[in-house]
Amino acid sequence: PYQVISVDFIKSDVRRDVFVEQCPELVIVDETHTCARPTGASTSQQQRYHLVSRIATKPGQQLILLTATPHSGKPEEFHSLLGLLRPEFETLDLPNSTQAERRELARFFVQRKRADVEKWMGEDTPFPEREAFEWPYDLSSGYSRFFEAILDFARKLIAPDPARGHQKRVQYWTALALLRGVMSSPAAGIEMLNTRLENLATAAGDDAATPDSARESEANPVGDTEFGFEGDNAPTQVIERNDWTDHQRRRLRDFAQELAALGNIKDDSKLASAELILDDWLSAGFNPVVFCRYIATANYVGEHLAPALKRKFPKLDLQVITSELPDELRKQRIEEMGRSPQRVLVATDCLSEGVNLQEHFTGVLHYDLPWNPNRLEQREGRVDRYGQMASKVKACLLYGADNPIDGIVLDVLLRKVREIKRATGINVPFPEDSQSIIDTITQALLLNPGRQIEKKRNKHQIEFDFGDFGEAAAAKANVTRKVDEAAEREKASRSIFAQNAIKAQEIEADLREVDEAIGDPKAVEEFVSATLNNLLGVEIRRERKGYRLVTGNLPAALRELLPAGDPVHVSFHSPTPEGHHYIGRKHRFVEQLCQLVMANTLARADKRAARAAVVRTRQVATKTTLLLFRCRNVIEQSKVGNKIVAEEMLLWGWRGTPQQKEFLDHAEAKRLLSEARASSDLSPQARAGFLDNELKLLAGLGAEFDAIAEQQSKRLVDAHERFSALMDKQRFQVVYPVLPMDLLGVYILLPDGA
C-alpha cells in the first residue's frame, strides 16, 4: 500500500510530529524546491523545510527528493536541500570542492539534462522544440483614455502625505493592484473597483491599528510568489484597507462604469490580439492553453472568445478552469477535453504547477505576464515536457505596448531569462526577488510622472530604452549581471553533477535483462494482442498509431478496466499517441488478463494457455525440446543481512536428446518458441506419445536443472553488484536457490516431415 499526501497538509505543528513518527520506510518528496530553507520570510516554506528535515534525520529512513528546479537562484537555498541528503553537504564549497568530495556528493545527487536521456541506450526519447515569441498590442482609443485617467489617479493616490504616513505602503499596493487589474481585463478591474466601499472605513481603521513592524514585514499582496500557487482571486483586500475619501469613492464608481463599456473585442485590443493568435494556432493544428492571472480575467476571456472562435471552428471545445473548481474536477475536465478534435483551455496559475497538460495541449499563451520569471517556465513546462507527442510547441508573451508596467516586467525580468534559455538550453531560476525589483521601478514611475520609457519598434518586437529612467536602467543592469552569474553557476553545477560514473554500456546488459524478466513494452504488446485474439476471441487490430480494441466480447472483469466506448483505441508505448489509452505492464488490465490466463491454465478451464505442446514446424531441423522454469533465489546483503527473494522465468532446452548435450540458452529457446508455427497436423495419439517420452527423460535431469539454478543465482548476484558499485557499494551473496525449480511448461518442436 502507498499514500499520497499533500506536504502543506502535514507540515503544520498539529500533524507533523505524528507523520514523522509513523511515516513509511520510503518517502518520496515531489517539487522539493518548495521545501528549501527560505532566505526570505516565507513561513509556509519554513514549515515545509522543517518537516522534510525531520524526516531526513530519522535513523534508517529512505528519502528521495525530486525536482526539476533544484536551484532557486539563491545558492543558500540550494545548499539547504543538499544538507537534507547529508548535513556536511550544506557547507560544501562546490566550485572549489575536490574530486573526492564531488564523487561523494554525486552518489546522492543525480541531475540529468534532456540531452542525457534523448538517446539513452539507443532509444528515442523525444522532446518538442519550443517556439517562443512576443506579441505587442496597442490600446484602443477608448481604453487608452481610460488607462491614462486611472494612471493619473494612481499617481495622486501615492503622492506623499504626512498625515497618512502609516498608509504609504497600502496606498502603493492599492495603486499597483488597480493598474494590474484593469490591464488584466475589464472584468478583473471592475471586480476591484466595485469592492464594497461602504465597509472600507472599518478595514482602514484596522490597518491603522497594526504595529509599524508588522506592516513593514508584510509582503506585497499584488505580486507573484516565487514557487507554489498564491491564489487567483483579485487582491480586493488591498483596496479595502485603503483610507478612501468620498471623492475617490465616486471616482472608483465612475471608473467601473467606463470599464464596463470597454469589455468587448472591439474596444479591448488585448482580447482581440488573443483571438488572432488562437485563430492562427488552431488553424495550424495547435491546441493552446491560455494562462490568466485572475479568475475574473479567465472567465472574461472564455466568455468572449468561445463564441468568436467557434464561428470558424464549430467543433472547438473551449473550457475555463480556475481554483473555483476542486482539484479532481479540474483533472476530469482536462481529460474530457482530450476527446475533442480542437480545444482551448483558459486557466489561471492553479494549473501552472503539478499538472501534466502535454497529452492534450501544444501551446501556451501568456494572456497576463507573470511577475516572477520562474512562473514563465512553470507555465510553458506544462506542455513542453516528456510525453508531448507534437514535434513543436508554441509559447507567446502578450503584452501592452502602451502599458509601462508590462514594459518593465518584460524587458527587465523576462527577456533575459528567455535569452539564456534560447542560447544555452538551460532554464536559469531567477536569482533575485522579482517583486522588490518591480516595486522599486514602479514606485519611481508613479512618483515621478517625468520618468519616460522610450520605445522603438522593429520587425519582431519592441525595444525599450530606459535612458531617461535611471531606476529602471539600474535594475535592468543588475538583473542582467545576476542572471549571467546564475547561468554560469548552473553550467558549473551541471558539470559537477553530471553522472559520468553511470556508463550506459556497463549496465545496459543488466537493464536489458530486467526488461526480459519483467516484460518490456514489446512483450506487453505481444502478450495482450495474442491473448485477446487467440484465447478470448476479442478483436484487436493494429492501426497506424496503435490498436483498435473492440470491447464487446471482453469479460466484464476486463471491460471495466478500460475507458468507456466501443471500440477503444489503445497504445502500449509511451509517449502515447493522442486519442489512445496507454496500457503498460503495470496497468490493471494487463494484471487482470495475466491472472485470468493463469487461473484458467492451472484449473484446466476454457480459454487457457498451453502448458504442454507438440508441434511439427519448419523452424527446426531436429527434434527440439523447450522447458519453461520458474526459478527463485534468496540473496542477502552481506553487511546488513537483508534478504531478498528474486523470482524470474527461464526458458531452456535441447536439440535431439539430453545426452547429446546440445543445450539451448534462454535467448535461443525464446526465439524458437516465438517463431515456431505449425506446418502440419499431428494426431492426438502421436502428440501424447512424443510428450510421454519427453517427460520420462526429465526424471534423469535433476543434476542439470540444479546446475542451471546455481548458474542463475550467480548471474543474479553479479548483476546486483555491478549496479550497486555505481550506487551504494553493497555486496551480495546467494543464501540458497529454491530447489527444485518449478517446471511450468514443456514444448516439443518436431521437424516438418518427422
Question: What nine digits make up the cell of 627?
Answer: 522447458
Low-confidence residues in the chain, pLDDT < 70: 1, 40-45, 72-73, 160-167, 196-218, 225-230, 424-426, 431-432, 450, 452, 459-460, 493-507, 637-641, 719-735, 754
Nearest alpha carbon to residue 193 among 225, 231, 220, 154: 154
> Could you give the CA distance from residue 612 to residue 628 in angstroms, rounded to a whole number?
10
The residue ranges of DSSP E strands in 21-156, in sequence order, are: 26-29, 62-65, 129-137
Q: Are residues 388 and 275 in the same domain?
A: yes
Gyration radius of the chain over CA positions: 33
Question: What nine digits make up the cell of 479?
Answer: 538583473
> Which residues are CB-contacts of 365 (< 8 A; sequence separation ≥ 6)?
274, 277, 278, 281, 288, 289, 290, 291, 396, 398
In the listed set 345, 379, 399, which residue is the last one of a domain according to the structure?
A: 399
Whether the upstream peptide bond of residue 24 has omega within 30° of 0, thus cis, is: no
Residue 549: the pLDDT is: 96
Residue 109: the pLDDT is: 87
In a domain, 534, yes or no: yes
C-beta neighbour count of 227 within 10 angstroms? 22
List, in sequence order, every residue forming a beta bridge with 617; answer none if it has no partner: 678, 751
Give the SS3 label for residue 606: coil
Residue 640: the pLDDT is: 63
At 663, give phi and psi (nearest 5°).
-85, 155
C-beta neighbour count of 252 within 10 angstroms? 20
Sign of CA dihedral 571, 573, 576, 577: negative
At 64, give phi and psi (nearest 5°).
-120, 125
> Could you give the CA distance from residue 430 to residue 426 in angstroms, rounded to a whole number?
12
Q: Are residues 286 and 331 in the same domain?
A: yes
In a domain, 1, yes or no: no
Residues in the chain: 754
Q: Are residues 390 and 284 in the same domain?
A: yes
Q: What is the pLDDT of residues 203-225, one digit of tens each?
A: 444 555 454 544 444 677 787 76
DSSP letter at 363 equals E
> Could you give the CA distance from residue 119 to residue 183 in angstroms, rounded to a whole number?
45
Nearest alpha carbon to residue 359 among 379, 375, 339, 330: 339
611 Cα distance to chain centroid: 43
Q: Are residues 379 and 427 in the same domain?
A: no
Tell me how many degrees the CA angle 253-258-263 measures, rounded to the nearest 5.
120
Residue 227: the pLDDT is: 58
In a domain, 119, yes or no: no
Residue 229: the pLDDT is: 66
DSSP code per residue over 290-348: EE-SSHHHHHHHHHHHHHHHHTT-TTEEEEEE-TTS-HHHHHHHHHHHTTSSEEEEEE-
Q: Are residues 621 and 714 in the same domain?
A: yes
In a domain, 118, yes or no: no
Nearest alpha carbon to residue 192 among 202, 183, 182: 182
> Could you give the CA distance from residue 614 to residue 514 in angstroms, rounded to a whole number?
30
Q: Are residues 616 and 747 in the same domain?
A: yes
Bridge-based pairing of strands 392-400 and 454-457 is unpaired
> Could you give the CA distance from residue 614 to residue 695 in angstroms, rounded to a whole number?
12
Q: Are residues 239 and 169 in the same domain?
A: yes
Residue 293: CATH number of its domain: 3.40.50.300
Helices (H) and strands (E) in the chain, counts: 28, 20
Q: Are residues 632 and 747 in the same domain?
A: yes
Give the SS3 label for residue 462: strand
Question: Do residues 311 and 284 touch, judged by C-beta distance below 8 A?
Answer: no
Q: Indicate the burial class of 480 (C-beta count within 10 angstroms; 0-12, 13-18, 19 or more).
A: middle
Question: Do residues 74 and 432 touch, judged by C-beta distance below 8 A?
Answer: no
DSSP letter at 357 equals -
C-beta neighbour count of 154 within 10 angstroms? 21
Q: Are residues 350 and 388 in the same domain?
A: yes
Nearest alpha carbon to residue 164 among 199, 217, 208: 208
In a domain, 188, yes or no: yes
Which H or E element spans position 112?
Answer: none
In a domain, 68, yes or no: yes
In the listed set 261, 289, 324, which residue is the last one of a domain according to the structure?
A: 261
> Could you give the CA distance from residue 706 to residue 627 in angstroms, rounded to a whole number?
14
Sheet holding 568-571, edge to edge: 540-542, 547-549, 568-571, 581-582
> Which residues are CB-contacts of 263 (< 8 A; sequence separation ≥ 6)?
185, 186, 187, 190, 300, 304
Sign of CA dihedral 723, 725, 731, 734: positive
Domain enclosing residue 459, as ranges: 401-499
> Could you give the CA distance from residue 316 to residue 323 in angstroms, rounded to a whole number?
23
Question: Do residues 628 and 670 touch, judged by C-beta distance below 8 A?
Answer: no
Q: Are residues 529 and 463 in the same domain?
A: no
In a domain, 101, yes or no: yes
Question: Do residues 742 and 665 touch, judged by C-beta distance below 8 A?
Answer: no
In the listed set 399, 422, 443, which residue is the last one of a domain according to the structure?
A: 399
Q: Are residues 273 and 251 in the same domain?
A: no
- Give the 3-state secondary structure of 507-531: HHHHHHHHHHHHCCHHHHHHHHHHH
Which H or E element spans position 2?
Answer: none
In a domain, 117, yes or no: no
Q: Are residues 135 and 281 in the same domain?
A: yes
Question: What nine digits make up the cell of 689?
Answer: 506419445
Sheet holding 288-291, edge to edge: 129-137, 392-400, 363-366, 288-291, 342-347, 316-321
The number of distinct structural domains making up the chain is 6
